[in-house]
Structure 1
Amino acid sequence: MNFMHHNINAKHDTSRRVFSLTLTLIAVFFSTISYAKSVLILGDSISAGYGINPHAGWVALLEQKLSSVSDDNEVNVINASVSGNTSSDGLARLPKLIEAHTPDIIVVELGGNDGLRGHPLKVMESNLNSIIALGKNAGSEVILAGIEIPPNYGQRYTNEFKKVFVRVAEKNDVPFIPFILEGIALEPELMQDDGIHPTEDAQPLLLENIWPSLKEILIPNLSE
């Protein structure tokens, strides 16, 4: 009887150790899983895919890239870009977008239409500051994508326009892409006939310009 009793106790001890080890392994497994993130793109025609197949746009390519990085990394990309939008339009739309999607990251790609329409730069600067403040107050990390306008708008205006993005990025201490069309805008074959919008062939380059800033925030959740 004592021998049997000892055997039963030994089996119980073994079962407890196995159960404890299983719980530990489960805890380790879940601790290594990358939690889902959401990225909201608040942009204009450049991010909306004006003049091209939207499925070939840089935002769609970003979705493909994120899904291919690792099966463990679930990142939801919301493209809230609207062709023709100004910084005022983006600011007006953002509160509802934050409420609907609670994004972890917001990429702000606005201002081009402000410049093309000759809007006061002080208004654009105020709008961009307010957009970033809204995002930060909602717990989102914000990336600012800068843009430049053609020189025919006058050297003074184009220079001051460019400086707005620098000031906004510095004031709010956010990741900054100085010129989203870097390596694209001066290449005629990569621009549509209007000279403003990038072609379908330019979209991978657009993503290359944006990816480093996004990657910086998503790591260590992303393995690439």
Structure 2
Amino acid sequence: MTNFLFHGLALCLVFLLGSLACSEGYEEARTTASKVPPNNSFKILILGDSLTEGYGILEKEAYPNLLEGKLNQELTPQTETTYQVINGGITGATSSGGVSRIDWFLQAQPDFLILALGGNDGLRGVPVSETKENLSKILATAAKHQIPALLAGMKIPPNYGLTYTSEFAQMYQDLAEHHHIPRIPFLLEGVGGDPKFNLPDRIHPNPAGHKIIAETVYQSLARQLKTIP
């Protein structure tokens, strides 16, 4: 698995996913061209935040790495394709950050996009319309480059009221329908809120939680990959 993230030594700020995060621009600048994967595999970019990066656990324990292994073990014999997952997760990332980074990540020439952003927006109370517009821009950019996509939905606690929480959850369904793409209803299904599957901060999944996430993503992703020539 390719991880586009180098951890800088710059002063970090506390983000609302309970993490220490360096600025997205700094992280992006620290990444080198040597991290771009070779052109001998089907490349899947997961554009996400700390949940995707694997905050608080080893890189090999994060769901993108587990997903890559599962794809090559279970799907490769059926499709005769080798899969490479690009971990585009950055702690503290927001939808606006995703808009600013998508063109840069596309230099890796991914064949498929999994969009897993929006959680930090929801925890900060960013207007749903703004988050929706940003995610839509990312999906439109992928479509412009003829890159099929899968949208990973998120849910948030009712800190900003039930109306906001409901509109936030509905946003992912609306985006999937508008862009005619499949959707994972909830990336953290079976993991979110369960202390057995989360770190002590009760926010970020532990290795056991990432195994469940990898399975959740695999079930949706495999169906799509089987339809790609």
TM-based fold match above 0.5: yes
Q: Tell me by how many angstroms 1:114 deviates.
A: 0.3
CA RMSD of aligned residues (A): 1.7
After the TM superposition, which residues 128-207 of structure 1 pair with which residues of structure 2 at under 5 Å, given as runs? 128-207=135-214
Give unpaired runs (5+ residues) of structure 2: 1-39
| Matches of 1:112 and 1:147, distance apart in 2 | 6
| Matches of 1:201 and 1:75, distance apart in 2 | 23
2:24 aligned partner: none
Query: Does the Cα contact within 8 Å between 2:193 and 2:202 map onto a contact in 1?
Result: no
Q: Tell me by how many angstroms 1:36 deviates.
A: 3.3
Q: Tell me by how many angstroms 1:214 deviates.
A: 1.2
After the TM superposition, which residues 42-191 of structure 1 pair with which residues of structure 2 at under 5 Å, given as runs? 42-69=47-74, 70=76, 72-98=80-106, 100-191=107-198
Q: Secondary structure at the match of 2:101?
A: helix
Deviations 1:178-221 (A, max 9, x none): 10111111322112222221111111110111112210122167
Give unpaired runs (5+ residues) of structure 1: 1-34
Q: Which amino acid counterpart does residue 88 of structure 2 have in structure 1?
A: A
Query: Does the Cα contact within 8 Å between 1:132 and 1:142 map onto a contact in 2?
Result: yes
Q: Which amino acid counterpart does residue 83 of structure 1 have in structure 2?
A: T
Change (3 A) 1:220 1:152: closer
Q: Tell me by how many angstroms 1:136 deviates.
A: 0.8
Deviations 1:56-91 (A, max 9, x none): 011010121123234742112111110100000011
Change (3 A) 1:158 1:217: same
Q: Secondary structure at the match of 2:89?
A: coil
Deviations 1:126-173 (A, max 9, x none): 011111000011110010000011233321211111111111111111
Query: Does the Cα contact within 8 Å between 1:66 and 1:73 map onto a contact in 2?
Result: no
Pairing 1:38–2:43 present: yes
Structure 1 runs of 4+ aligned residues shifted over 6 Å read: none
- Normalising by structure 2, report the TM-score: 0.77
| Matches of 2:50 and 2:88, distance apart in 1 | 11
| Matches of 2:132 and 2:227, distance apart in 1 | 32
Query: Does the Cα contact within 8 Å between 2:67 and 2:215 map onto a contact in 1?
Result: no
- Normalising by structure 1, report the TM-score: 0.79
Change (3 A) 1:130 1:50: same
Hey, which of these two has a bigger chunk of helix by percent? 1
Identity over the aligned pairs, expressed in percent? 38
- Please tell me whether Structure 1 or Structure 2 has the larger radius of gyration of its CA atoms: 1
